[in-house]
A and B are shown apart, each in its own frame.
Chain A
Amino acid sequence: GNSVTQMEGPVTLSEEAFLTINCTYTATGYPSLFWYVQYPGEGLQLLLKATKADDKGSNKGFEATYRKETTSFHLEKGSVQVSDSAVYFCALTDSGGYQKVTFGTGTKLQVIP
Chain B
Amino acid sequence: EAGVTQFPSHSVIEKGQTVTLRCDPISGHDNLYWYRRVMGKEIKFLLHFVKESKQDESGMPNNRFLAERTGGTYSTLKVQPAELEDSGVYFCASSSLFTPGQQETQYFGPGTRLLVL
- Of A41, A96, A101, A106, the residue contacting B106 (CB under 8 A) is A101
For chain B residues 23-62, which have a beta carbon within 8 Å of chain A?
A: 31, 33, 35, 37, 40-45, 48, 50, 55-56, 59
- Contact segment of B14-22, B67-75, B76-84, B108-116: B108-116
Contact B105 A46 (CB under 8 A): yes
Bound-state CA distance A106–B105 (Å) is 19
Which B-chain residue is minimally distant from A103 (CB atoms)?
B43
Would you give 10 A-B contacts (Cβ < 8 Å), ordered by A?
A44-B93, A45-B108, A46-B105, A46-B107, A51-B103, A97-B98, A98-B48, A100-B48, A101-B106, A105-B41
Extra pairs beyond A93-B104, A98-B55, A101-B43 (5, CB < 8 Å): A36-B108, A98-B31, A100-B59, A101-B45, A103-B42
Size of chain B's interface in residues, with CB distance under 8 A?
31
Bound-state CA distance A49–B55 (Å) is 25
Closest Cβ of chain B: how far from A2's Cβ, in Å? 10
Closest Cβ of chain B: how far from A64's Cβ, in Å? 16
Task: Point out the residues of chain A lying under 8 angstroms from B104, CB to CB.
Answer: 93, 98-99
Known contacts A45-B108, A106-B40, A106-B42: A101-B35 contact under CB 8 Å: yes
Which A-chain residue is minimally distant from B3 (CB atoms)?
A43
Contact B110 A42 (CB under 8 A): yes
Contact B111 A43 (CB under 8 A): yes
